[in-house]
Amino acid sequence: MLQTKDNIILTIQRNQNQIRGFGVKRLGLFGSFVREEQNSESDIDLLVEFEPGKKTFDNLMRLYFVLKELFNQPIELVTTESLSPYIKPYIISEVEYADITP
């Protein structure tokens, strides 16, 4: 079954305790799923923002593997800082954040 935007957001929210355990402050969806243009080849594009002092390689990679397992399909996990200045405004304007507040 093809994932949907609502299903992805709901999955993130249902797993918020585990996700926050990696120091995640915000996790948002962007790309084809937000625009509802996804197909069977689409990966899930996610933008992560970490709490101060929590952005480490280990936290990023552990989060990546947990999300990949949750969705059982390819994901693209990026930080705001890693975005190209040329595409950053477009991503920021379309990202939809999951509510993972404690």
Tokens read off for 72: 């059982």
Amino acid at 85: P
Residue 1 has pLDDT above 60, yes or no: no
pLDDT band at 2, cuts 50/70/90?
confident
CATH of the domain at 29: 3.30.460.10
- The count of domains in the chain is 1
pLDDT band at 101, cuts 50/70/90?
confident
**Inter-residue long-range contacts of 85-91, CB under 8 Å, 24+ positions, other chains counted:** 91/30, 91/31, 91/47
Q: Which domain holds residue 52?
A: 5-98
Q: For the segment 46-66, what is each residue's pLDDT rounded down to a tens digit?
A: 999 999 999 999 999 999 999
User: Whole-model pTM?
Assistant: 0.92
Q: d(Cα 40, Cα 29) in Å, to the nearest integer? A: 17
